[in-house]
């Protein structure tokens, strides 16, 4: 149902890599622009730009936090290796130092293992794990997009409902315009009669025409309907429309304000208030549209 996307979503993927297991978590919330933040494990920082480009190709707006977790494989081929050459160097240095001391305490093998370089952690081949990381981020991005589309569909339902309510209010005000003008004419005539004076009928018609022009809201009503049509057109756009919809909310609110300022009766005034409430409800939702 349409292509409206929210900026709120979540995606999570776990995948095997040559040297361990990769976990990707992606969260997004609303933001004026695309703001990508990456948390990468030690040694994976050279991959950031490629992963950033991958996410940016699919997500256009929102604050997106990406967390990449790597858990090294714990087997014989990935276990830390003893560097005997380095260990011999350390032992020789310890023996030399012990020869200069009286009753030196013995050095345990465990103490030697704590010396940097004696026990070497197996280095992770980043290039070998790149493909798995890239695929996992791509899959997580897809999950995030699906979640954002699901939320976007819910937002669209709400916006569609408010559009119909606005159209109904506009139609009701349009239908009342001739009646408002008739009531205004009657009130003006009644005031003249209370003054116990004669008024030139032609002058009376001129005054009524001037008043009618001041309270004429036909253009505002037409623009409200036109803006609603533009809002609906954005629902099926292939491009992000959040900023466009936000601009249209401002235009709708401007027309509702003008309608209220020109109102000549309480029903039109109430309709203007109701319109502003509906538009504000839409604006709150539009703030989260990509």
Tokens of 208: 């009524």
**Mean pLDDT across 129-141:** 92
pLDDT in tens, 157-194: 999 999 999 999 999 998 887 777 777 666 666 666 66
67 and 109 part of one domain: no
Rg of the chain on CA atoms, in Å: 36
pLDDT of 143 over the 90 cut: yes
pLDDT given for residue 243 in this prediction: 93
pLDDT given for residue 191 in this prediction: 65
277 and 171 part of one domain: yes
pLDDT in tens, 15-69: 998 888 999 999 999 999 999 999 998 888 888 999 999 999 999 999 999 999 9
- In terms of Cβ atoms closer than 10 Å to its own Cβ (0-12, 13-18, 19+), residue 231 is buried
pLDDT given for residue 175 in this prediction: 87
Residue 59 lies in a domain: yes
105 and 216 part of one domain: no
Look up the CATH number of the domain holding residue 22.
3.30.230.40
Residue count of the chain: 290
240 and 181 part of one domain: yes
Q: How does residue 79 score in pLDDT terms, banded at 50, 70 and 90?
A: low
Q: CA 52: distance to chain centroid?
A: 17
- CA-based max dimension of the chain: 131
pLDDT of 1 over the 50 cut: no
18 and 95 part of one domain: no
pLDDT given for residue 84 in this prediction: 79
269 and 175 part of one domain: yes
pLDDT given for residue 281 in this prediction: 97
For residues 279 and 261, give the distance between their C-alpha atoms in angstroms, rounded to a whole number. 17
| Tally of helices (H runs) and strands (E runs) in the chain | 8, 6
Residue 266 lies in a domain: yes
For residues 148 and 184, give the distance between their C-alpha atoms in angstroms, rounded to a whole number. 51
* Structural domains counted in the chain: 3
pLDDT given for residue 198 in this prediction: 64
Residue 212 lies in a domain: yes
35 and 138 part of one domain: yes
Residue 102 lies in a domain: yes
Look up the CATH number of the domain holding residue 259.
1.20.140
Are the C-beta atoms of residues 91 and 115 closer than 8 Å to each other? no
pLDDT given for residue 193 in this prediction: 63
Residue 88 lies in a domain: yes
pLDDT in tens, 216-250: 678 889 999 999 999 999 998 888 999 999 999 99
- In terms of Cβ atoms closer than 10 Å to its own Cβ (0-12, 13-18, 19+), residue 16 is exposed
51 and 21 part of one domain: yes
139 and 160 part of one domain: no
Neighbours of 210 (CB within 10 A): 9
240 and 254 part of one domain: yes
Q: Is 2 helix (H, G, I), strand (E, B) or coil?
A: coil
17 and 144 part of one domain: yes
pLDDT given for residue 168 in this prediction: 97
Q: What is the domain range of residue 96?
A: 80-120
Long-range contacts of residues 223-232, Cβ cutoff 8 Å, at least 24 apart: 223/251, 223/255, 224/166, 224/170, 224/252, 224/255, 224/256, 224/259, 224/275, 225/167, 225/170, 227/251, 227/252, 227/255, 228/163, 228/166, 228/167, 228/252, 231/159, 231/163, 231/282, 232/160, 232/163
Residue 204 lies in a domain: yes
53 and 131 part of one domain: yes
């Amino acid at each position: 149902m349409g292509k409206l996307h929210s900026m709120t979503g979540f995606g999570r993927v776990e995948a095997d890599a040559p040297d361990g297991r990769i976990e990707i978590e992606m969260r997004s919330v609303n933001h004026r622009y695309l703001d990508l933040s990456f948390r990468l494990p030690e040694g994976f920082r050279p991959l950031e730009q490629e992963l950033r480009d991958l996410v940016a190709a699919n997500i256009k707006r929102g604050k997106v936090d990406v967390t990449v977790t790597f858990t090294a494989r714990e087997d014989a081929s990935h276990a830390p290796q003893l560097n005997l050459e380095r260990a011999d160097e350390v032992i020789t240095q310890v023996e030399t130092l012990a020869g200069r001391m009286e009753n030196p305490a013995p050095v345990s093998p465990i103490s030697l293992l704590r010396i940097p370089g004696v026990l070497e952690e197996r280095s992770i081949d980043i290039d070998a794990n790149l493909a798995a990381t890239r695929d996992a981020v791509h899959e997580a991005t897809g999950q995030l997009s699906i979640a954002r589309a699901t939320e976007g569909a819910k937002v669209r339902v709400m916006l569609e409902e408010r559009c119909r309510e606005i159209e109904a209010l506009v139609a009701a005000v349009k239908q009342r315009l001739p009646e408002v003008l008739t009531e205004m004419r009657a009130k003006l005539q009644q005031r003249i009669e209370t003054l116990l004076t004669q008024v030139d009928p032609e002058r009376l018609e001129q005054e009524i025409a001037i008043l009618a022009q001041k309270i004429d809201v036909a253009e505002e009503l037409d623009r409200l309907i036109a803006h609603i049509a533009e809002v609906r057109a954005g629902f099926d756009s292939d491009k992000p429309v959040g900023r466009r919809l936000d601009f249209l909310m401002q235009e709708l609110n401007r027309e509702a304000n003008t309608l209220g300022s020109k109102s000549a009766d309480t029903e039109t005034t109430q309709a203007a208030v109701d319109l502003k409430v509906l538009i504000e409800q839409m604006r709150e939702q539009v703030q989260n549209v990509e």
